[in-house]
Structure 1
């Protein structure tokens, strides 16, 4: 006969009570407490495990140390004495920055940002090496459109930094910055490359026309300007230039000029005394974006819309027309109007450059020979 309801309830309670573990030790039993020897053995095991894991991690730290030791002698601390009149009052002050020695076809030059030394005469600029020697430049060449400057220092005998190919740098690559943050010379910080192609930055009162910045979270502070941004091969991949900050200090957003761009400008300054900017002769629509590509969006990720073509310009000779969308310039995809402006401006004068455009939804290829914008 099946049990009564009340009997079933009691049976279930009995099962439950059997399944519940007792929290009290059995009478006469002892809790197992590890001995001091067992604890020491376990700690030793953990230390060995940490040592094995640290050995792998420390290889990265070793790279950073080696890069720092290798490149520090090529980094220059800069102090520029400046004076200006503001609101009718005369002000005189010193500004600290950084520079890096690079090898050019014309010898060794100290590369830095124009804003670091702008307004100072050569005798007002003090250059200090990592071993404490001090010099003044004999000649200064600078370009306001890119914020790049170079200084000639004939008696400066230090090894030049090795430059890398900034076109091969990828987001997420490790980066090292060396400079003089807040005047603390030859300081080293470490991070990654956060982004590429930053071209719409507003940098205070200074207008930089040709922008193509790297973004990094390696700590960059006032005084780092002009110093090198490096990869883990010890190669310079950028020239630290600016920070985005609400406090005036590092907030993990720093910007550097790609070294390919900086070297191109430096060579122009040394050879011709100025940057000879390429001239195409078009007016572009700054409001044009990927969403405006329409039917060609499946074939192009970006582009620059031509609003007008100047008569007799290289663009006119290449038969460009209003409404054309330039999607590729010199083999490089065009992201937007600022990207095209930067590419054109840094292309050697007289070069015949291939372009791909879309006109009325159809793809065309043409060539343009750039002239001097100046």
Structure 2
């Protein structure tokens, strides 16, 4: 993997319109006081771009143009308004199911949950309706809302391949400007992004895009040239601490496969499962790789034969340069999935197959 260091490049989750001045590097939708953002201080190799030309919607107004895609998608997009006193703000969201279920980022609605605030959604027809929280998963930065409406228009959420160079369209409410549309391309896939702090940290194997994404876009859909949902806008990169928050062409989205899986589990059970290996990692280890500090008795790693002191170098064919990349690689898998782990014990390299465990998140 390319290891050119990029000093000063930081990732910030998108600040809501009510928080733009208060939070530069913290969480959107009311997370005043959480101001730690993780750095993207390496440049992983980008996947090779297919020689085939990406499907780029034209700027005219037919069904497969940008205007046509937006016209179809817009009824499925909402703005999310959070009233939680000093931690009020706004973000975006989209309709997952016609029976009232809406998906957004957890950090958009967190303040309302913590401070017993209220949430409203604004639909594309301008109507404002109250929403209740169904559940959330902090690990993936996903939250599910429900409104009292049984006749919504869901976004087309069938899984679609995503390649570098594909055209994308982002719809949301940057800086409170509801239903704003921006366009760009997929700049990279499987980009390891870490945002938040302590027990509020989210690890994302993100889609990177150059489509302008700004504070307030959080939770809004990213769709492809056919109008299919491919990701949910979640974070942006800023140049350095103290810099103004805004698009510099480095935006990140949670892939649709993770969003839909987590959201459907929350709707069905009120909770969701996060894959785990049953280990802790030594944060002081400089790499390359992730050094196992402890192994949970009876956990997935112990069952596979991993021990404290082993260094994990690859997981499921994906390079692991440090602890964050290991967590991102695990989160990109499913609970119960078998993954091949390549590791080093002293000077000996070896492989084991790990059946991932799970942790329930509410």
TM-score by length of 1: 0.68
Structure 1 residues 266 and 332: alpha-carbon distance in aligned structure 2, compared to 1, 3 A threshold: farther
Among 96, 118, 121, which residue is 1:124 paired with?
A: 118
For the Cα contact (< 8 Å) 1:111–1:150, is it kept in 2?
Answer: yes
Q: CA deviation at 1:253?
A: 1.9
Q: CA deviation at 1:71?
A: 0.4
Matches within 5 A, 1:154-303: 154-155=148-149, 157-165=151-159, 168-203=161-196, 207-245=200-238, 246-285=243-282, 287=285, 289=287, 292=288
* Structure-2 residue corresponding to 1:368: 355
For the Cα contact (< 8 Å) 2:275–2:356, is it kept in 1?
Answer: no
Please tell me whether residue 133 in structure 1 is matched to residue 127 in structure 2: yes
Q: Which runs of 5+ in 2 are unaligned?
A: 1-54
Classify the secondary structure of the residue corresponding to 1:119. Answer: helix
Q: CA deviation at 1:132?
A: 2.0
Q: CA deviation at 1:203?
A: 4.8
Q: How far does the alpha carbon of each residue in 1:272-303 deviate from its partner, in whole angstroms, 9 at most, with x for none?
A: 323322231223355454xx4xxxxxxxxxx5
Structure 1 residues 284 and 109: alpha-carbon distance in aligned structure 2, compared to 1, 3 A threshold: same
Among 311, 333, 346, which residue is 2:297 paired with?
A: 311
Among 339, 345, 352, which residue is 2:325 paired with?
A: 339
| CA RMSD, 1 decimal | 3.1
* In 1, Cα distance between equivalents of 2:300 and 2:198: 32
* In 1, Cα distance between equivalents of 2:170 and 2:176: 15
Q: CA deviation at 1:156?
A: 5.0
For the Cα contact (< 8 Å) 2:276–2:356, is it kept in 1?
Answer: no
For the Cα contact (< 8 Å) 2:304–2:352, is it kept in 1?
Answer: no
Q: Which runs of 5+ in 1 are unaligned?
A: 1-56, 84-90, 293-302
* Structure-1 residue corresponding to 2:37: none
More helix by share: 1
* In 1, Cα distance between equivalents of 2:136 and 2:356: 26
Please tell me whether residue 80 in structure 1 is matched to residue 66 in structure 2: no
* In 1, Cα distance between equivalents of 2:234 and 2:339: 32
Structure 1 residues 200 and 239: alpha-carbon distance in aligned structure 2, compared to 1, 3 A threshold: closer
Structure 1 residues 200 and 354: alpha-carbon distance in aligned structure 2, compared to 1, 3 A threshold: closer
Aligned length: 293
Q: How far does the alpha carbon of each residue in 1:43-72 deviate from its partner, in whole angstroms, 9 at most, with x for none?
A: xxxxxxxxxxxxxx9962132111111101
Structure 1 residues 59 and 75: alpha-carbon distance in aligned structure 2, compared to 1, 3 A threshold: closer
